[in-house]
Amino acid sequence: MRITREVLRQKWVLGKSHREVGLSLGLGVGTVSVVLARARGAGLDWSTAENLSEDEVEAALYGSAGTALVRELPDPSYIHTELKRPGVTRQLLHLEYLEVHPEGYRYTQFCEHYRRWRKAHRLSMRQIHRGGEKMFPDYAGMKPHHVDPGTGEEIEAELFVAVLGASNYTFAEATATQTSLDWIASHVRAFGYFGGVPGAVVPDQLKTGVTRPCFYEPGLQRTYQEMAGHYGTVILPARPRHPKDKAKVEVGVQIAERWILARLRNQTFFSLRELNARIGELLEELNARRMRLYGASRREQFERVDKPELKSLPVEPFEYAEWKRAKVNIDYHIEVAHHAYSVPYPLLHETVEARLTSGTVEIYHKGSRVAAHARGWARGGMTTVAEHMPKAHQKHLEWTPTRMISWAGSIGIETRTLVEAILSDRPHPEQGYRSCLGILRLSKGYGHERLEAACARAVKVRARSYRHVAAILKAGLERMPLEGQGEEKVHLGAHEHIRGSDYYTNS
């Protein structure tokens, strides 16, 4: 930089200290000392230097003017781009600069040249992003739309935009909503578009991803955090009211609105798919457009700076899941999304968490998975795993109508007929299980032959319970013949307390 004459003016005319001159001109105290030492060595004073041009002053201090003019200025755009790459420092870039230009500027002037360029372009040190370091997602304020082909109604959509910090490489797509499902699905597609995963994701503190906005410790939405873990990245929400934290996506959204949405204003689309197909075409043009600041396109910057530093994508993309809290009911089931799922019965009355995907339901208790089920979509239905039941319930579950009827058939036709009648008479077959089991187990005490005869009598008199069959066997009635349609006449013999038929005819 050509400020040697100004250093002399501030020292000799204004009487400033070395530190004040350095702060004013962006120089180190040592540099100011060197300039003054060279001026004194050259026999200059202000009365002489005042009448000299900057070139003449530099020639007097550093040599001929010709020598001063051949110094090559460092390329600030190149410096800014290279500083985004991991491990690259200004000192390293200065050494490389001197290898090409041995007579070039020293380190202080090298940095000063870059500092002035950065200030002129309104850039701050905090916005120097390393390759593959951060991705900035957000929604645009302007909204695209498509038309319902049946009704002609315009349906508004949302425009999701994600920008990589180092290269400004951009991803954009239209989604139906800003719900958690669409927000996370857009992240997954953005990672796929970039072909890798950045070290961190920096969203705004919107409700979709941040459940508790906070300057110091924002609370992340459970599924959003789970998605980050699946991809091996982290979520770093931008601080509230600090737009510089997400300046990349603020500018990216503005550019997407100008170069994508504005170009769609006179076009009509009849589905979200058609709309996204056109957005994809315009996105490719945007990323191929040359940026004046960097002298290269977003895609060229991406290939050189961001792509080599992105983490590899996992084998399987993240599958969206919802988390629900539920209390275990007395029947050792929880109800989520209008369907009941079993858990191990010792968890009765405990509070658990259910993770629901499109195909599975996983249940966690204190961070440990205690059950997993295929997701049931029948409203009011029930999914039960036998191992979750108490032993007594498991044994009951082993019985089926077919098994009961088969066992009854092994005893005899009448026993089978009675069991079938009991099961068919109940609103639910399970309601007749206990009655049938009781009847079948009577064969152990009375034998198959007597039980078969007792069942035949019970069928005739339309008795449909274990109690009736047990009473017949206990009284030995299965041995007595039946009269009429199910009526039986039993001779009880003479007794002083039994009235005979004559009592009623003679009274």
Given a cut of 60, whether residue 382 has pLDDT beyond it is yes
Cα separation of 286 and 280, whole Å? 10
**What number is the average pLDDT over the span 213-228?**
66
Name the band, by pLDDT with cuts 50, 70 and 90, for residue 175: very high
**Over 50: is that where the pLDDT of 215 sits?**
no
Does the pLDDT value for residue 65 go beyond 50? no
Least confident of 73-82, 106-115, 212-221, 222-231: 212-221
Question: Nearest to residue 8, comparing CAs of 64, 62, 65, 58?
Answer: 58
In order of 124, 250, 283, the CA distances from 306 in angstroms are 20, 19, 18
Lowest mean pLDDT among 25-34, 40-49, 182-191, 432-441: 25-34
278-296 residue pLDDT tens = 999 999 999 999 887 778 8
Report pLDDT for 503: 53
Query: How, if at all, do strands 339-342 and 382-383 pair?
Result: parallel
What are 130's two structure tokens?
A: 């390393």
Number of neighbouring beta carbons within 10 Å of residue 64: 11
Contacts of 9 (CB under 8 A, 6+ apart): 46, 49, 50
Token pair for residue 170? 């951009």
Residue range 321-353, pLDDT digits in tens: 888 899 988 778 888 888 889 899 888 888 999
User: Parallel, antiparallel, or unpaired: how do β-strands 351-356 and 200-201 relate?
Assistant: unpaired
* Residue among 357, 271, 298 nearest 161 (CA): 298
What is d(CA 302, CA 281) in angstroms, rounded to the nearest whole number? 18
Rounded Cα distance, 269 and 445, in Å: 80
Q: What percent of the chain has pLDDT over 70?
A: 82
Structural domains of the chain, with CATH: 4-126 (no CATH), 134-309 (3.30.420.10), 322-394 (no CATH), 399-479 (no CATH)
Residue 500 has pLDDT above 60, yes or no: no
Rounded Cα distance, 224 and 206, in Å: 12
Q: Is the dihedral of CA 214, 216, 222, 226 positive or negative?
A: positive
Most confidently predicted of 6-10, 314-318, 427-431: 314-318
